[in-house]
């Protein structure tokens, strides 16, 4: 232990210190420390380190280093506020005859604060996420010759492992599960049987109950609830409480104030490192396009850590950069998750370059192997028999199936239900890469959804700018004979957009229409009865008995046998469906549980509906998503990257959801869809008219 002669809260490096600068009482701190010291001395031998002036946190000797037998791994503090303690502790360890190992500079590890032996000495639990770096764990395993189990800390109040995790005599573990990520919790549950787990609730956790000094059957802590005390007594422990409130102000308590230098030692032990590392390569506009930040964030958020081995910064605006990065993860499982996300942003795993993808046979029609690789929207290649195959029918949420054909091996994205016995499916994340164009360096001023949304309210001018851009592209696509698919909800009709969408179809800007029963119903209701869901579209008022209108319409169309027949027979004389029929624009109406009718054309077999959607989407250059969350998301899932998606909805949540696919090509517009369509039609007519402005009605 280290007496609190120079203890104070001088700076803020954890949430407990906030608001507590110079707020602890020197006298009370000394009293509290003395009480703890005497309690421990009744049960163990205590050596003291001489405190050094200017290093107020030196009292927390748990952070001096990690000791096993005569070996110490000296701490490398994360914060410069504590780095000055290192030489004092080093000197002390050396004077006591320990062999001191020092981690490379910039590889933080905060000693026994972040590393706790199970009390039988079988393995070491090591925390990471706030103060200690995951990459320090393999070195510790090696130096101390022990198995290291890495646990990721998630709650900044519990920034050191010893604030929320406490192995006890007899294989017990007292801990606060919400402080860890789910992978770590699973690991804990694998190693510690349920009857040995003493789960601490939040009120105890924030009283630092887990920060307990355990000597044989005695546990010494700041404070415990009656409940926790009972639980500990049941497990055979004597609970001693001693207030340490002055030290809580700095984010520490009993255990932090001590360092155990006599840990139980198992002679026949071995270093076991569960951490996996891989080297990956990134190439492209890593800085300009923000790719490098995105990649490194993904690694950290995913529970891994990284080391940049090489960074070759492109010199000119046009030159690409190249980075080689070593990634570590606490397990194969976590590594796979991280790598698959990195693959999505175009990262190539170097070690994989030489390896084939792992394939497993389909053993039952419509069912993939566990662990199948889930496809994304990005063009993907897979390495089979030493050869990179381009995956066909790219879409997200599918599996990659490899089949033998007369023309050789073929890789294609398939949804699970389409998998066939005899095919092989890619599992794991080995031998896979996605092709991202380097050209897609995002121009800084592109009207991207997020910058757009972050403006809070989408100003009218922004909407106009996007309309201008969309109009330009619609015209380009039409002129080169491309394909635009529209997916629309009934709100298009309710907001008065029917006439504009009809106009777009008539003028050749739309090559396929996707929707549900409702859009067709209300479109034809408007055409036949002048109302949409019973509201008069000219007056804007509800018509008496109007709620029955759409059922009458459904009935009439059913009598005709199909929408096309209703158009041919003159029952439907205008509107969106009318224009589709007249201009031979294919449409697909997918049914749902809430459909009235349905119309004869509505496909109530959802598997068939999905297939029809996919067929109409094939080869699309642009998709206009107009106020239909359901159909738009369905369409989004079927569409590979590279297809421009424009999503218009009055609800920002829908827009965000769709643009969240992370593809640069999507634009979100939060506005009234009727208004948007009217602006769009106006702009298109401006672009195509010889005389400038034209009024459209
Ligand atoms: N103020 C110190 C810090 O933030 C408290 C250390 C507590 N020690 C511990 N092993 N949890 O570093």
Stretch 382-390: mean pLDDT, rounded? 92
Chain centre to alpha carbon of residue 127 = 21
pLDDT at residue 355 above 90?
no
Neighbour tally for 451: CB within 10 Å = 12
Instruction: For residue 17, give the ligand 1 atom closest to its CA.
Output: 1
Collapsing DSSP to helix, strand or coil, 486 comes out as strand
DSSP codes, 281-333? EEEESTTTT-HHHHHHHHHHHTT-EEEEEEEE--SSSS--EEEEEEEEESSHH
pLDDT at residue 368 above 90?
yes
pLDDT at residue 388 above 60?
yes
Instruction: Look up residue 689 and give its DSSP letter.
Output: -
CA pseudo-torsion sign 568, 571, 572, 574: positive
pLDDT at residue 273 above 80?
yes
pLDDT in tens, 572-594: 999 999 999 999 999 999 999 99
What's the pLDDT at 71? 96
- Ligand 1 pocket: which of 77, 111, 113, 211 to mutate (most atoms within 8 A of CB): 113
Phi, psi of 98, deg, nearest 5: -85, 150
Q: How far apart are the first and last CA of the chain?
A: 84
pLDDT band at 664 (very low <50, low <70, confident <90, very high): low
- Ligand 1 pocket: which of 6, 56, 252 to mutate (most atoms within 8 A of CB): 252
- Two tokens, residue 37: 């010291």
Half-sphere exposure of 516 toward its Cβ, with a 13 Å CA cutoff? 23
256 Cβ inside 6 Å of ligand 1 = yes
Query: Quick one: which of 690, 688, 691, 692 has its CA closest to 504?
Result: 688
Active site residue 500: no
Check if the beta carbon of residue 60 is closer than 8 Å to that of residue 112. Answer: no
* Mean pLDDT for the chain overall: 91
What's the pLDDT at 529? 92
pLDDT at residue 657 above 90?
no
Neighbour tally for 418: CB within 10 Å = 17
pLDDT in tens, 442-460: 443 344 433 333 333 355 6
More confident residue, 283 or 48: 48
Q: For residue 244, how far is its CA from the centre of ligand 1 (angstroms)?
A: 13
Peptide bond into 94 cis (omega under 30): no
Dihedral, 574, 580, 583, 587 alpha carbons, nearest 10: -170
Task: Tell me what ipTM this predicted complex has.
Answer: 0.90
Least confident stretch, 83-97, 417-431, 482-496, 532-546? 532-546
What gap in Å lies between CA 162 and CA 185, rounded to an integer? 15
What's the pLDDT at 173? 98
Nearest CA to ligand 1 atom 6: 252
131 Cβ inside 6 Å of ligand 1 = no
14 Cβ inside 6 Å of ligand 1 = yes
pLDDT at residue 270 above 80?
yes
Instruction: Using a pLDDT cut of 70, give the percent of the chain over it.
Output: 94
Active site residue 256: yes
pLDDT at residue 641 above 90?
no
Check if the beta carbon of residue 137 is closer than 8 Å to that of residue 107. Answer: no
What's the pLDDT at 662? 55
639 Cβ inside 6 Å of ligand 1 = no
Check if the beta carbon of residue 559 is closer than 8 Å to that of residue 528. Answer: no
pLDDT at residue 536 above 90?
no
Neighbour tally for 201: CB within 10 Å = 13
Alpha helices in 594-672 (DSSP H): 606-617, 629-638, 652-659
51 Cβ inside 6 Å of ligand 1 = no
What gap in Å lies between CA 610 and CA 168, rounded to an integer? 56
Instruction: For residue 82, give the ligand 1 atom closest to its CA.
Output: 12
What gap in Å lies between CA 41 and CA 210, rounded to an integer? 20
Stretch 8-32: mean pLDDT, rounded? 96
- Two tokens, residue 553: 């319409």
pLDDT at residue 392 above 70?
yes
What gap in Å lies between CA 16 and CA 155, rounded to an integer? 12
Q: In which element (H, E) is residue 86 found?
A: helix 86-95
- Two tokens, residue 225: 């609830």
More confident residue, 346 or 169: 169
What gap in Å lies between CA 299 and CA 324, rounded to an integer? 14
Stretch 307-315: mean pLDDT, rounded? 92
pLDDT band at 109 (very low <50, low <70, confident <90, very high): very high
Collapsing DSSP to helix, strand or coil, 165 comes out as strand
Nearest-Å Rg of the Cα atoms of the chain is 33
What's the pLDDT at 511? 98
Collapsing DSSP to helix, strand or coil, 527 comes out as helix
Stretch 124-140: mean pLDDT, rounded? 96
Least confident stretch, 52-66, 199-213, 534-548, 576-590? 534-548
Instruction: For residue 14, give the ligand 1 atom closest to its CA.
Output: 4
Stretch 299-313: mean pLDDT, rounded? 94
DSSP codes, 342-371? HHHTT-EEGGGGGSPPEEEE--BTTBPPTT
- Ligand 1 pocket: which of 160, 222, 260 to mutate (most atoms within 8 A of CB): 160
Biggest CA-to-CA distance, the chain? 101
Phi, psi of 628, deg, nearest 5: -145, 100
Q: What string of H, E and C letters represents the secondary structure of 193-211?
A: CHHHEEECCHHHHCCCCCC
Query: Quick one: which of 163, 170, 172, 165 has its CA closest to 149?
Result: 165
Which residues does 630 contact at the CB level (< 8 Å), separation at least 6? 489, 516, 592
pLDDT at residue 655 above 90?
no
What's the pLDDT at 43? 92
Q: For residue 206, how far is its CA from the centre of ligand 1 (angstroms)?
A: 14
Q: Which of 2, 137, 160, 612 is catalytic?
A: 160
What gap in Å lies between CA 344 and CA 661, rounded to an integer? 11
What's the pLDDT at 459? 58
Half-sphere exposure of 245 toward its Cβ, with a 13 Å CA cutoff? 6
pLDDT at residue 441 above 50?
no
What's the pLDDT at 452? 39
What's the pLDDT at 442? 46
More confident residue, 487 or 435: 487
pLDDT at residue 289 above 90?
no
What's the pLDDT at 220? 98
Check if the beta carbon of residue 347 is closer than 8 Å to that of residue 282. Answer: yes
What's the pLDDT at 691? 56
Collapsing DSSP to helix, strand or coil, 495 comes out as coil
Query: Quick one: which of 429, 665, 615 has its CA closest to 512?
Result: 615
Half-sphere exposure of 300 toward its Cβ, with a 13 Å CA cutoff? 12
Q: Which of 2, 256, 413, 580 is catalytic?
A: 256
């Amino acid at each position: 232990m280290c007496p609190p002669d120079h203890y104070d809260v001088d700076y803020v490096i954890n949430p407990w210190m906030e608001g507590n600068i110079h707020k602890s009482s020197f006298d009370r701190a000394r009293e509290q420390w003395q009480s703890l010291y005497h309690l421990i001395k009744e049960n163990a031998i205590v050596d003291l380190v001489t405190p050094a002036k200017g290093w107020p946190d030196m009292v927390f000797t748990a952070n001096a280093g990690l000791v096993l037998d005569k070996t110490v791994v000296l701490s490398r503090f994360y914060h410069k506020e504590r780095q000055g303690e290192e030489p004092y502790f080093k000197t002390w360890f050396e004077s006591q005859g320990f062999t001191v190992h020092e981690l490379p500079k910039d590889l933080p590890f905060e000693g026994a604060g972040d590393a706790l032996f199970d009390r039988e000495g079988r393995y070491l639990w090591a925390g990471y996420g706030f103060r200690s770096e995951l990459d320090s764990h393999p070195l510790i395993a090696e130096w101390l010759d022990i198995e290291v189990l890495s646990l990721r800390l998630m709650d900044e109040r519990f920034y050191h492992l010893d604030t929320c995790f406490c192995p006890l005599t007899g294989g017990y573990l007292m801990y606060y599960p919400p402080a860890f990520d789910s992978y770590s919790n699973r690991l804990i549950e694998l190693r510690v049987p349920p009857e040995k787990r003493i789960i601490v609730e939040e009120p105890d956790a924030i009283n630092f109950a887990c920060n307990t000094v355990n000597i044989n059957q005695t546990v010494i802590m700041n404070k415990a609830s009656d409940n926790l005390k009972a639980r500990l007594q049941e497990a055979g422990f004597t609970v001693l409480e001693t207030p340490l409130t002055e030290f809580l102000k700095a984010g520490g308590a009993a255990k932090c104030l001590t360092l155990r230098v006599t840990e139980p030692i198992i002679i026949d032990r071995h270093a076991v490192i569960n951490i996996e590392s891989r080297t990956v390569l990134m190439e492209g506009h890593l800085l300009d396009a923000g790719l490098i930040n995105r990649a490194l964030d993904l690694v950290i958020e995913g529970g891994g850590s990284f080391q940049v081995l090489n960074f070759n910064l492109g010199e000119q605006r046009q030159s690409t950069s190249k980075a080689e990065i070593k990634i570590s993860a606490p397990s194969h499982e976590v590594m796979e998750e991280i790598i698959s996300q990195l693959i999505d942003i175009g990262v190539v795993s170097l070690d994989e370059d030489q390896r084939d993808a792992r394939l497993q046979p389909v053993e039952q029609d419509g069912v993939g192997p566990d662990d199948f690789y889930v496809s994304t929207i990005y063009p993907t290649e897979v390495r089979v028999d030493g050869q990179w195959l381009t995956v066909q029918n790219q879409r997200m949420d599918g599996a990659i199936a490899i089949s033998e054909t007369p023309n050789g091996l073929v890789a294609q994205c398939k949804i699970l239900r389409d998998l066939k016995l005899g095919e092989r499916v890619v599992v794991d994340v080995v031998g896979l890469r996605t092709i991202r164009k380097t050209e897609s360096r995002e121009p800084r001023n592109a009207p991207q959804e997020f910058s757009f949304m972050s403006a809070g309210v989408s100003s009218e001018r922004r909407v106009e700018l996007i309309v201008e851009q969309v109009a330009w592209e619609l015209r380009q696509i039409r002129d080169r004979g491309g394909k635009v698919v529209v997916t629309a909800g009934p709100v298009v009709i309710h907001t008065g957009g029917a006439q504009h969408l009809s106009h777009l179809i008539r003028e050749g800007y739309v090559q396929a229409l996707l929707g549900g029963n409702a859009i067709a119903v209300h479109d034809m209701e408007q055409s036949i009865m002048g109302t949409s869901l019973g509201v008069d579209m000219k007056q804007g008022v509800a018509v008496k008995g109007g709620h029955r209108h759409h059922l009458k319409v459904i009935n009439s169309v059913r009598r005709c046998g199909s929408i096309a027949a209703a158009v041919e027979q003159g029952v439907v004389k205008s509107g969106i469906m009318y224009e589709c029929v007249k201009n031979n624009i294919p449409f697909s109406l997918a049914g749902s549980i809430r459909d009235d009718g349905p119309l004869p054309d509505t496909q109530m077999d959802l598997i068939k509906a999905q297939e029809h959607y996919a067929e109409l989407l094939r080869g699309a250059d642009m998709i206009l998503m107009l106020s239909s969350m359901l159909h738009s998301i369905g369409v989004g899932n079927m569409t590979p990257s590279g297809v421009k998606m424009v999503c218009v909805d009055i609800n920002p949540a829908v827009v965000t959801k769709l643009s969240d696919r992370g593809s640069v090509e999507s634009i979100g517009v939060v506005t009234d869809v009727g208004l948007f369509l009217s602006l769009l039609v106006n702009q298109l007519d401006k672009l195509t008219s010889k005389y400038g402005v034209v009024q459209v009605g």
